[in-house]
Structure 1
Amino acid sequence: MKAREWGVLLVLSGAIFLEGIDIAMLNIALPSIRDDLGLSTGSLQWVVSAYVLGYGGFMLLGGRTADLLGRRRVFLIALLVFLLFSGLGGLAENGATLIAARFVTGLAAAFMTPAGLSIITTGFEEGPKRDRALMVYGAIGAGGFTLGMVIGGLLTTLDWRWVFFMPVGLSLVLLIAASVLIPRSPRPDRTGKRFDLLGGLTITAAVVLLVLGVERATHVGVGWTVGAIAASLALVGAFVAVERRTASPLVRLGIFRSGSLVRANVIGMMFIAGFFGFQFLVVLYLQELRGWSTIEASLAMLIMGIDVALAPTLTPRLVRRFGNAPVLLAGLVFALLGFALFLTAGTGTSYWGMLPSLVSMGMAFTLAYGPLTIIATNGIDEEEQGLAGGLLYTSFQFGAAIGLAGVAAVNVAATASGADQDLLAGYRAAMVVPLAAAVIAVVVGAFNLRGRAKEAAAEPELVGVA
């Protein structure tokens, strides 16, 4: 790649890193935020849920907007909004202001993330160069998830507000660099195309209700949860009906004929569900059961950040040798192994005893994140790359909601008291949720191998990355 191409790639990778650490840092800072602002547990949950609703609810609209209005323009505007409202979150003096700021920050990320990914998938020609770019992008993005808790723990010891101010500084640097480095491109040809307003409203409402139903499942009655999910499914049906009739659909339903795209989204949802659930349980285990400080717990998980070094160096070599599908599957198996190993952790397990599980999770991100992104976007028309990115990151966000809600519900149900053995029993019971998600991901990932084999049989002259 040329120097300018590397510059563009690093700026866009920095944006996905920013999005990853923003989520992870907040999780570790929540107890400090609650104590300082005097929030109830219910209000504290909304600090997380507001971001999830903004991000997950508007991702598809964000991806399609990038396709129609121009990816560079949408990326820059969204990054600016992200910067401003991250700063507002750091200045918040009450829960209402912080929750509102988190919602708008999530909404900005919903436009920024698919726009950034589609700039890569349209700016680098499909093949080895794009695959290399997506490997680097995926490695840095995964690093945001795995290193975010460490960075968040360090910043929280100073003041929880730095968890919001640090992204402001990084956003400003990225905004300046993006303005200079990302090349301008002609406005997309919108002849015969228009915004599918009705489709946008129905699918956004459907996703918001679905995420809200899952997120709040552990805090409200069963009837409320069932009602929210039922209303969401009804809106999905309405959305499908609208998309079939409109001349310019928000989501062209034919895109789901791509088996690799559908499998990638299912895998992404399950992989992230498992990771977020696992991360949540590990933090509880270290801090509640073992009595480790925030810094100690954060540093203990630092080893998972090995993906930052290995994903852009080791993974491309493995992909060139074996293809995306086998490398992705290997990453999913590492995730399953990591979850299973942590089941053996007890009240007196040393850090060295936990290390194999944490290293396995680092290897899972090393091998899975980049190939997953490639599989989800390869073969998609250029004019729908924003949509493909929006679908993938919607799956990620919904997966995070499922994972957190699932482990929280099982943990509460399985913990009889505050005794150490009861806490440990609750953690082990809840770990079944990440394990189940990983099993599903592995099974679906195995179907990618079948699809790859069929493609190779049909076109034996094609050699290279799957």
Structure 2
Amino acid sequence: MTVSDGRRQTALVLLCAAVFLDSMDLSLMGVALPSIGRDLSLPESTLQWLMSGYAVAYGGFLLLGGRIADLFGRRRMFLISLGAFAAASLAGGLLSVGWLLVLTRVVKGVAAALTAPAALSLITTTFTEGPRRNRALGIYSLAGATGYSAGLIFSGLLTQVSWRLVFFLPVPIALAVLVAAPLALPRGERPSAAAGGFDGAGATAVTGGVLLLVYALTEKNWPAGIAAVVLLAAFVAIERRQRLPLIPLGVFRSGRLTAANLAALTWACATIGWQFVAVLYLQRELHYTALATGLGIVPMGLAIVVTANLAGKLINRWGLGRVAALGMLIQATGILLFLRAGATGDYVAVLLPALLIHGIGNGLSFPSLNIAAVGGLPDDQQGLASGLVTSSVQIGAGVGIAVLAAVMPLGHSALSGYRLAFLTAGAFSLLGVLIASLGLRAPAPAAESVPATADS
């Protein structure tokens, strides 16, 4: 292995550590909330925003984060945002005032929204398109998926000692990455597009629109949803007239990019929505403790790890469309197998097979969709493509959780409500199978064939 190869591999490890942190923070807080509420006498509304504040900020700033990475330097933005993430984590562990704790979570969400697309675009510009990039993106996707599962486990373990450790845990990992990253990450040059100005109006419209959309889904606030639609429509109108738009609408002429983002949205609706309901089912119906719930999910995480390592080889042999569709079909099978679980739910005979099958489907589909979303675009649009697919996943997570939470009360009993939710999650995954099968069949377009300017 040459020195340059070694540096690329080191950079990949550091970038994967960052996305591991971002994903882990999505699940790390859940188990700790009751302890935080008791110790600080916080109302339930404040506790809810400790969760949703992170998600709303993350989902809302992703597209802006991707474009900022393209315009002002991926390496620079990665280091700055990861430093802010570490500082906010440290502050959260030291504070005891509810609204200040929520503020640290919002800051972390914004930092994660800047870190994730910068990290993903650094990978896509460091590794050339083909098997090497596919393998790197598979490892990156694996880091994100395992981070979420690890957060469930660590949350249960740390909360037994002190809920403050949940805030402190990301700090040493982030600091270690910050020390090593300047030596390993490619420096690159500041993109010339930055000199041409910044689409402030488009950034304001799309960020406000996505923030309001995620807020509306989280809080079931329909006026906020209407305002989100108005802002997003205004954003499209603005981008059509901008000389240097935040999101060149011409990229959506790539059918594969559009299909990859739609499939990623349905993927998140299915798997993140299902995980939300499955955790409730394990704790409320089967009376699992928080720690037992996290440990019960470990086999699914291991299945994701093993399968994601094989995904690159399968993609090279069978193609993105087939692997993505197969993965989402297997994922749907695992979700629907939860319909067999009753009021007592035999873990070994019923739950474990469903978790393993779901994990295999995740490990195949998620890397495939990430590769499809960034393939065929030039280097100066990799941050944009990364932000789009990550935003699709975050918005899909919000939609999936909101829809499944609305479906559950429709059952005539608690158990039937869970089953309705599992059916709905399975339907989302099957919709993703259809999108991937039809939209990802064609090879990626050449980079120069995707216009970088807005539609007119």
Instruction: Give me the TM-score of the superposition, normalised by structure 2.
Output: 0.93
Q: Secondary structure at the match of 1:190?
A: helix
Amino acid at match of 1:12: L
Deviation of 1:308 (Å): 5.3
From 279, 282, 291, the counterpart of 2:278: 282
Match of 2:83 in 1: 80
**Superposition map of 1:347-386 within 5 A:** 347-352=343-348, 353-386=350-383
User: How far is the alpha carbon of 1:432 from its aligned partner?
Assistant: 3.0
> CA 1:202 to 1:187, structure 2 compared with 1: closer, same or farther past 3 Å?
same
Is it true that 1:410 corresponds to 2:401 in the alignment?
A: no
Aligned-pair CA distance for 1:24: 1.5
Q: CA–CA distance in 1 between the matches of 2:377 and 2:395?
A: 22
Is the 1:132–1:316 Cα contact (8 Å) retained in structure 2? yes
CA distance in 1, matches of 2:224, 2:279: 30
2:439 aligns with one of 436, 445, 448 = 448
**Which amino acid is 1:406 matched to?**
V
**Alpha-carbon distance in structure 2 between the residues aligned to 1:196 and 1:449:** 31
Cα displacement string for residues 192-217 of structure 1 (whole angstroms, at most 9, x for unaligned residues): 62110011111111111111111101
* 2:417 partner letter: G
Q: In the aligned structure 1, how far is the partner of 2:305 from the partner of 2:195?
A: 46
* TM-score (norm: length of structure 1): 0.91
1:107: Cα distance to partner? 0.3
8 Å contact from structure 1 (residues 142, 307) kept in 2:
no
In structure 2, what is the equivalent of residue 400 of structure 1? 397
The gaps in structure 2 that reach 5 residues or longer are 446-456
RMSD after superposition: 1.7
* Distance apart, 1:138 and its partner CA: 1.3
Aligned pairs for 1:119-198 within 5 A: 119-190=122-193, 193-198=196-201
Q: 2:72 touches 2:194 (CA, 8 Å); kept in 1?
A: no
**What is the deviation of 1:311?**
3.8
Residues 1:397 and 1:197: Cα distance change in structure 2 (over 3 Å)? same
Query: Equivalent residues in 2 for 1:10-409 (5 A)?
Result: 10-190=13-193, 193-217=196-220, 225-307=221-303, 309-352=305-348, 353-409=350-406
Task: Give the distance between the partners of 1:325 and 1:91, measured in 2 at CA.
Answer: 47
Q: What is the alpha-carbon distance in structure 2 between the residues aligned to residue 103 and residue 269 of structure 1?
A: 23
Q: Which amino acid aligns with 2:95?
A: A
Any idea what SS the aligned residue of 1:158 has?
coil
Q: Which residue of 1 aligns with 2:451?
A: none
State the partner residue of 1:459: none
Find the residue that maps to 2:82 and give its secondary structure: helix
Which letter does structure 1 place at the counterpart of 2:236?
A: V
C-alpha separation between the residues in 1 aligned to 2:35 and 2:258?
Answer: 40
Task: Note the residue ranges of structure 1 that are not aligned, 5 or more in a row.
Answer: 218-224, 417-421, 456-466
Q: Secondary structure at the match of 2:191?
A: coil
Match of 2:453 in 1: none
Deviation by residue 1:175-230 (Cα, 9 ceiling, x = unmatched):
1111221121222113762110011111111111111111101xxxxxxx332111
What residue identity is the alignment partner of 2:178?
L
Measure how far apart 1:28 and its partner are: 2.8
> Which piece of structure 1 moves more, 141-150 or 372-381?
141-150
Shift of 1:405: 1.5
Deviation sequence 1:98-129 (CA, Å, 0-9, x none): 11111110000111100010011111111122
Q: Measure, in 1, the Cα distance between the counterparts of 2:403 and 2:436.
A: 22
The CA deviation at 1:312 is: 4.8
* One-letter code aligned to 1:407: L
CA distance, structure 1, for counterparts of residue 344 and residue 57 of structure 2: 41
Contact 1:329 1:446 in 2 (8 A): yes
Paired residues of 2:303 and 2:356 also in contact (CA < 8 A) = no
**CA displacement 1:44-84 (0-9 Å, x = unmatched):** 22112211221111111111111011100000000000000
Three-state SS of the structure 2 residue aligned to 1:379 is coil
Q: Please say if residues 147 and 304 of structure 1, whose CA atoms lie closer than 8 Å, have aligned partners that are also in contact.
A: no
Rounded Cα–Cα distance in structure 1 between residues aligned with 2:92 and 2:438: 43
1:10 to partner: Cα distance:
0.5
Seen in structure 2, the aligned counterparts of structure 1 residues 442 and 389 have a Cα distance that, compared at 3 Å, is same
* Residue-pair matches, total: 441
Residue 291 of structure 1 and its aligned partner are, at CA, apart by 1.4
The question of whether the paired residues in 2 share the 8 Å contact of 1:277 and 1:433 is answered with no
* SS of alignment partner, residue 192 of structure 2: coil
Is the 2:279–2:293 Cα contact (8 Å) retained in structure 1? yes
